[in-house]
Structure 1
Amino acid sequence: MDLIIGGAYQGKLDCARRTFGVRDEDIFTCTETDSIAFGSRCINRLEEFTLHCVRQNEENRNEALDAAELFRRNRESWRDSVLICADIFCGVVPLGADMRAWREMTGRLCAYLASEADTVTRVFCGLEQRLK
């Protein structure tokens, strides 16, 4: 698995296309839903998936969704994928509790994914920096 992180509009998807040969038809883009195509060649916008998990947890205290745990359970499905996540876990700490929870869950998911990844690439201003 290859993990690509970076700020908004920094060229993460272009990096996936250029470096890993990802095509448009290979890309599953996360939205605010608990449905995620773990077997896709490329899973984009993981931060949207974690935001959905946080919002679900606010509504359903009894059935908490943990993004990292969902990825652990489906590990074999995404082992050969390129995963892309916006870097929302650095910088100014948000005031709202829900946004802090989102930032924390996204950070924990990326930490887990980085530990499992073959490569981790950070993209800044279109420039790729190999972290792992």
Structure 2
Amino acid sequence: MAYLKIFSLILLFGLVFKGSDAYCSIAQNIIVKQSRTGNWAHGMPEWKVTITNQCSCPQSQVELKCDGFQTYKYADQSILNFFGNVCLLKNGQPIFPSETVEFLYAWDPPYPFQPISSKGIC
């Protein structure tokens, strides 16, 4: 019985001190928002994409779904790189807790960027 109590205590402390953010869910912690800037490029509306890491751990190798993405205005390659159907943010460098990454593109309709993977650094 004492072993069960000790095991339960170790498990509880492991969960509390390791933190639930050690394994942040990309779907819940990498937030993608878009808004129109009011500018136009080649007759297409310009969109501002804001990506925020809401995990308490830095996230590296953040990838977005980009299949079928088109634009008349390309983002700075230090922010967004295309590899087939995947976009890599910041060349795979960490996005720190509460950090925001932004880029612009021009197309209509807006592209539904979705985070698909990242690596937590805790």
Which band: TM-score by shorter chain? under 0.3
| Structure number having the greater helix percentage | 1
Does 1 or 2 have the higher relative contact order (CA < 8 Å, sep 6+)? 1
Larger radius of gyration: 2
TM-score, scaled relative to structure 2: 0.26
